[in-house]
Structure 1
Amino acid sequence: MAPPSAVSYDIEAVTDTEAIVLPNPLTVNGVASRRAKAGKLVAGTAAYTSSDLFKSSTAGKPKAKRWDHYFSIETKSRQPSSLKGAAKYLKTPGLISLGGGLPLAENFPIEEISVKVPTPPHFKEKEAIKTGTTLSAGKYDVSEGKSVYDLSIALNYCLGTGAAQMLRWVTEHTEIVCNPPYADWQCTLTVGSTSALDHAFRMLCERGDYILAEEYTFSSAVETGLPLGVKFIGLKMDDQGLIPEAMDALLSNWDVVARGARKPFVLYTVPSGQNPTGATQGVARRRAIYKVAQKHDVYILEDEPYYFLQMQPYTGPNAPGIPPPSSNEEFLRSLVPTFLSMDIDGRVMRLDSFSKVIAPGTRVGWITASEQIIERFVRANEVSVQNPSGISQMVLFKMLDEHWGHGGYLQWLINLRMEYTSRRDILLAACEKYLPRELVSWNPPAAGMFLWLKVDWRKHPAAKTKSILEIEEEVFLAAVEQGVLVSRGSWFTADRENFVHTELFFRATFAAASADKMSEATARFGIALRDIFGH
C-alpha cells in the first residue's frame, strides 16, 4: 500500500453529499410504535412481502436513479416465477389451493425446535450457560396464537425475498443504522454475501468487463467473478484503504481500445476492516469515493461483514483500555457512516451478513438497494437459492426479534466490539514483543479481524537474486515448519494477471485462536523471519 498522504479532494460532485444529516441513531422506540400502529403481522406460508411494508415514511425523499443501462443481458432476460407469482392469491379468504407444490406441514417430521441463547446483557459464554434463555418454536405457533412465525411456515417454501418475519427485522435494523436518504430503498434476504456477490456480478456485468476494487481485496470476490469472465482491476490504497484520486485518474484516462474493455462502472469495496488489509475508510474518504462514483456514474457494491466489528481506539501496548460505549446511542454514533447512509442516488448495494456477528453457518444475510435492483435480485433468487434456510431464519427470528429486540442486538454488538478490541490488542502486543521491528511493520486496525504485516523483503540475504514471490513462499513455508499458518499477501491481489509486486505482505487474523495461542503463533512467525533473514 502507498503511504498515507495529505490530499485535497477537489472532485466535483453531481449532488452535494456534505449536507446529509445522519438520523438520530436510536430509533428502536420508533420501531416499536410503528409495529403497534401496523398491528399484528399476518404472514403465512410463502407470503408476499416487501420492505415497503415495514419502513417509516419516506415523504420528502427523492427516488433512486434507474440502472437499466447497466443491467446485463442475463438479468434483463429474467422473468418473474410463474409459480411463486401465484402465491399472492394464497391470502384470499376461503381459497383452497391445488396450485403450488407446498407440502402439508403435518408431513414435516419436526414438531418443535429449541435453542438456548444469551440473555442481554449477559453475553459471555460462561454466563449464557447459566443465565441463558431457551427459546422454542412449534409447528403451529401462529394458529395457536403464540407467535407470528412458526415451523409450518419456516419449513415450507418461501418467496425470493425471504420470510416476511425476518425481512421486517432487517428492514427496521437497516433504517436504524443507515436510514437511506432516498425513498424507494428495499431489503431482501440472501444466502450470505458470497452468493449475493455472484448475483450482483451476473446482474451488472458481461464477460470481458472489469470491476474496480482495492489493489488487495477479498480473494473469494475475485474468484467469484473470474468464471463469469469478469476481471478485477486494483486501485491504490493507503492506511484508509481505497484512494479516491487513484479511482478518478484510472476512470478519467480509461482507454477502451488499449484495455479491450468498456470503462468500468462497478466498484467492489470493503470499507470497514477491509479484508485483507484491515483498513477502514473514514467518513471524509467515503464521501470522496462517493463523489468519484457520481462523477463517473459508478455503481458501488458496499460489502460490510465487519462493519459492526469497529473497535475501540488503539492506545498502545500496556495502555489502559477505553471503556465500552455507555449506551446503544453512543455505540451507533461511534460508527463510521455507511455509503448507504449517504447514497442520494440509489447507486449503492449494501451487503450485510450475520456471518461475522452471529455465526457463519446460519448462511443468512441481506442486501439493501433501490427497488429496481431488489426486484431483479429477487428474480435471480427465485431460480437459484430461492431463500435462506427456514430453520436458520426461525432461529434468528426467535433470538433477534422475539428475545433480544433491536436494543438487545445492539448490546450484543457492543459486547463483540469489546471482545474484538481485546483480541486485537493481544495480537498487537505479541507483535511488539516477538516480531523483529527492523523487518516487520503494521498499522493497528480500527475494525475487522485482520492484521496486515509488511515485511521488508529488501533485507533478505538473496533479495538481489530472488523475486518477491519467491521470498514470500520461503517465509510462508518456514512459518508452516515452525507451526504457524499466515496468509500470503499475493493471494489477495485484485488483478491476478497484471499486478506488479513491489512489497511483501502477510495477513494474520485475531478472530480464530485463543489469546495464548495467538501469542505463541506470533513468536513462531518471528522465529521463522529471523531464521530466513539472518536477524
Structure 2
Amino acid sequence: MAPPSAIAVEAVTDTSGVTLPDPLSASVKSNEIYGRRRKTDKSQWGVAAPSDSVNFRYHSHDHKPKAKRWDHHVSHEALIRKGNSLKQAAKYLGKPGLISLGGGLPSSEYFPFAELNLKVPTVGHFSESETKESGITITAGKHDLAQDKSIFDIATAFNYGQGSGSAQLLRWITEHTELVHNPPYSDWRCTMSIGSTSALDMALRMFTRPGDLILSEEYTFATAVETAAPMGLRVTGISMDEQGLLPDSMDHILATWDVKARGARKPHLLYTVPTGQNPTGATQSADRRREIYRVCQKHDLYILEDDPYYFLQMQPYTGPNSPDILPPSSHSEFLKSLVPSLLSIDVDGRVMRMDSFSKVLSPGSRIGWVTASEQIVHMYQMHADVSTQGPAGMAQLILWKLLDEHWGHVAYLDWLIHIRMEYTRRRDVIMQACEKYLPKEVVSWKPPMAGMFHWLRIEFRQHPDYPSKSIETIEEEIFMRVIEHGALVMRGSWFYANNEEEHDTLFFRATYAAAPAEKIEEGIRRLGEAVRAEFGLKGSNGATNG
C-alpha cells in the first residue's frame, strides 16, 4: 500500500487513469472537516487538559518550510519567562485510575450549575425574529463527558483550564484557521486569547522594550496607542490612502531612520488593521498586502495583524439605484472573495495574527485567538498561564456548543455570509444618507469595503473662521455642533498614531454598526444640518449639494 503522501492513480478505463490529489494536501471543503478529524483519546478533553493545536490540523504541513526564529526581536521578559510550573502536572490528570491529591482543582460537586440551556438560530434562519420563532435550544449538562453524551461539559469548562484554552474549542479554531488562511509554513500554531486588545498587550511585552517606536497607520485604533504608551512605547504613523498604509512611505521611514534624531532604535514591529481599518474603514488589497510584506522582509519587521473585521468584507458600493447585491453562491466563492490575509502569505512566520469572535458573534464572549509560529505561540501561552489564564470556561462552552456541536464549520460560514450581507445593507444605508444630506463642498468620503466605520473628510480650510482658528479648534467646534444637533461622531484626532506630529487633514468617524437603518439616516441628516450651520452653508436638510 502506498504511503499517504505518494501520488495515487485511479483507473478510468483499462488503458487510462486520473491522478488523485494527495489526501493530506488536497483542498478540504467545509463539510468534510469533521470527517478528517484525527481520533483522540478521551483524556484529551478532561479538566485542564493540555493541548497543542498541531494535533487538530487536518492537513499534513510537513512539505512546507519552517518559520524563522525571532530571538533577536523577542524581549528579555519573554525569553526568561518559564510559565506556570503547577500546570505542568495537568498532563497526568488523564491517566486512568489516578487519584489526584496534587492540583488545586475544586470539585465540580460544588459548582452550583447543573445545566446550561441556549436558544440559538437554526441553519439558514439567522435573524433575531426567526430565532425567536424557530430557534432550537441546545443543552450542556454538568457531567456530559463522563456520561459519554458530549466531549465538553460544565464540570470541565467551569473548572481551571490551560492558557491555550480548552482543547475542545481550540480544535474548532485550528480547523477554521486552516480552512480560511492555511499558513504557508509548517510549524504554525493557534492559541486562544481573551480578545485582541489583551493579545496586543501581551505581544507588545513580548517584542518590545521601553523607548521603542513601533509602526502603524497614521490613524489607528486608539486603544492600541493607549496600550503601548504605559510601556514606554511610541507609535510612528505611516501615510495612508483609501487602501490603508502606503508601503513606500513605510520603506522610506525605515530606510532613512536616524537613531539620534528619532531618539529610538530602528523599529522592528508593525501593528496593522488590514481589513475595514479602525477608524478609516480602509481595506488593503491583495497586492498592497504583498507589498507591505515585502517591505517588512526587507527591513526585518515582525507584523501584528489585528483583523477583527476580516469577514465583514463587502461587495463594492455602486450607488442608490443599483440592483440588490446577491450573497455568494457557495462557501468556496465566499472564501475566494476575501482578500488574502497577511498570515496566508507569510512564508517566514513573521506574522502574529489576532482573530476575535467580538465582531461576528459577541464582544462579551471575550474569546479570540492568536496564530503564529510555534516559538511565538509557546511564549504567548507561557505568558497567559501566569496572567490571563485563558478565556472564561463558561464562554468557551457556550461558543463550542454553538460552533462545534450545533452549527459546525458549514453553518458558521453560512452565518458569516449572513452578517456580511447585513453589514452591506447597513453600509449602503449610510452611503445613501450621505449622498442625500451631506454638503459635498466641504465633506467627502470613499465607500468602505469592509468593517463597521465610515471615514468623513472635512475641508476645514473652507471654514469661515480659518485660518484665525486652528484645525484643532475647528474640529472641536464641529464636534460640539453635531452633538447640539442630536448626533455623535468620533473626532479623527482621537485616532492619531502620534499626536505630537503635525496633521493637516480633518476627519470624523461614523459607524453603521449599531443603530437601525432609520436611525442611521436620521443621524446623518443631523450631521449634515450641523456641518451646514458650522460652515454657514445654505441648503435644506434634504437637499443634495455639490
Q: For this structure pair, what is the TM-score category when the shorter chain's length is used for normalisation?
A: over 0.9
- Cross-structure match for 1:455: 458
Q: Find the aligned partners of 2:497 and 2:32 in 1 and give their Cα distance.
A: 42
- Cross-structure match for 2:12: none
> Do the aligned partners of residues 40 and 177 (structure 1) sit closer, same or farther apart at CA in structure 2, a change above 3 Å counting?
farther
- Cross-structure match for 1:32: 34
- Cross-structure match for 1:375: 378
5 Å matches for 1:75-154?
A: 75-154=78-157
Q: Can you list the C-alpha shifts for 1:131-161, whole angstroms capped at 9, x where unaligned?
A: 1111110110011111000011000000110
> Which segment drifts farther, 51-60 or 218-227?
51-60
> Is the 8 Å Cα contact of residues 31 and 409 (structure 2) preserved in structure 1?
no
- Cross-structure match for 2:513: 511
- Cross-structure match for 1:289: 292
> Is the 8 Å Cα contact of residues 457 and 505 (structure 2) preserved in structure 1?
yes
- Cross-structure match for 2:427: 424
Corresponding position: 1:522 with 2:524: yes
Corresponding position: 1:308 with 2:325: no
What secondary structure does 2:277 align onto?
coil
Shift of 1:318: 2.3
What secondary structure does 1:187 align onto?
strand
5 Å matches for 1:344-383?
A: 344-383=347-386
Corresponding position: 1:187 with 2:190: yes
Q: Find the aligned partners of 1:279 and 1:291 in 2 and give their Cα distance.
A: 20
The residue identity in structure 2 corresponding to 1:490 is: S
Q: Find the aligned partners of 2:209 and 2:327 in 1 and give their Cα distance.
A: 46
- Cross-structure match for 1:210: 213
Q: Can you list the C-alpha shifts for 1:171-202, whole angstroms capped at 9, x where unaligned?
A: 00000000001010000000000000000000
> Is the 8 Å Cα contact of residues 72 and 203 (structure 1) preserved in structure 2?
yes
The structure with higher relative contact order (CA 8 Å, sep 6+) is 1
Q: Can you list the C-alpha shifts for 1:17-75, whole angstroms capped at 9, x where unaligned?
A: xxxxxx98753244222226557784100001011110121121111000111111211
Q: Can you list the C-alpha shifts for 1:410-462, whole angstroms capped at 9, x where unaligned?
A: 00000001000000000010000000011100000000000000010011001
Shift of 1:76: 1.5
What is the aligned-residue RMSD (CA, Å)? Answer: 1.2
Q: Find the aligned partners of 2:27 and 2:218 in 1 and give their Cα distance.
A: 33
Shift of 1:130: 1.1
What secondary structure does 1:70 align onto?
coil
**What TM-score results when the alignment is normalised by the length of structure 1?**
0.94
> Is the 8 Å Cα contact of residues 312 and 418 (structure 1) preserved in structure 2?
no
2:247 is aligned, of 244, 248, 253, to 244
The residue identity in structure 1 corresponding to 2:510 is: A
Shift of 1:322: 1.8
Q: Find the aligned partners of 1:26 and 1:500 in 2 and give their Cα distance.
A: 50
1:267 is aligned, of 261, 266, 270, to 270
Corresponding position: 1:234 with 2:234: no
What secondary structure does 1:268 align onto?
strand
**What TM-score results when the alignment is normalised by the length of structure 2?**
0.92
2:403 is aligned, of 400, 407, 420, to 400
The residue identity in structure 1 corresponding to 2:361 is: I
Shift of 1:257: 1.4
What secondary structure does 1:507 align onto?
strand
What secondary structure does 1:217 align onto?
coil
Corresponding position: 1:66 with 2:31: no
Number of equivalent positions: 512
- Cross-structure match for 1:319: 322
Q: Find the aligned partners of 1:304 and 1:376 in 2 and give their Cα distance.
A: 21
- In structure 1, runs of 5+ residues without a counterpart are 1-22
5 Å matches for 1:219-230?
A: 219-230=222-233
What secondary structure does 1:248 align onto?
helix
- Cross-structure match for 1:330: 333
> Do the aligned partners of residues 517 and 41 (structure 1) sit closer, same or farther apart at CA in structure 2, a change above 3 Å counting?
farther
> Is the 8 Å Cα contact of residues 44 and 50 (structure 2) preserved in structure 1?
no
Q: Can you list the C-alpha shifts for 1:503-531, whole angstroms capped at 9, x where unaligned?
A: 11000000011111111110111111011
Q: Find the aligned partners of 1:422 and 1:193 in 2 and give their Cα distance.
A: 27
Q: Find the aligned partners of 2:206 and 2:459 in 1 and give their Cα distance.
A: 42
What secondary structure does 2:162 align onto?
coil
Q: Find the aligned partners of 1:30 and 1:263 in 2 and give their Cα distance.
A: 47
- In structure 2, runs of 5+ residues without a counterpart are 1-24, 538-546
> Do the aligned partners of residues 38 and 111 (structure 1) sit closer, same or farther apart at CA in structure 2, a change above 3 Å counting?
closer
Q: Find the aligned partners of 1:41 and 1:470 in 2 and give their Cα distance.
A: 63
> Is the 8 Å Cα contact of residues 208 and 231 (structure 1) preserved in structure 2?
yes
Shift of 1:84: 0.6
Q: Whose radius of gyration is greater, 1 or 2?
A: 2
Q: Find the aligned partners of 1:132 and 1:486 in 2 and give their Cα distance.
A: 36
Q: Find the aligned partners of 1:32 and 1:361 in 2 and give their Cα distance.
A: 28
Q: Find the aligned partners of 2:83 and 2:262 in 1 and give their Cα distance.
A: 36
> Is the 8 Å Cα contact of residues 311 and 446 (structure 1) preserved in structure 2?
yes
> Is the 8 Å Cα contact of residues 44 and 94 (structure 2) preserved in structure 1?
no
Q: Find the aligned partners of 2:322 and 2:355 in 1 and give their Cα distance.
A: 33
- Cross-structure match for 2:169: 166
The residue identity in structure 2 corresponding to 1:401 is: D
> Do the aligned partners of residues 213 and 244 (structure 1) sit closer, same or farther apart at CA in structure 2, a change above 3 Å counting?
same
Shift of 1:373: 0.3
What secondary structure does 1:367 align onto?
strand
> Is the 8 Å Cα contact of residues 195 and 369 (structure 2) preserved in structure 1?
yes
> Which segment drifts farther, 357-366 or 92-101?
92-101
Shift of 1:93: 2.2
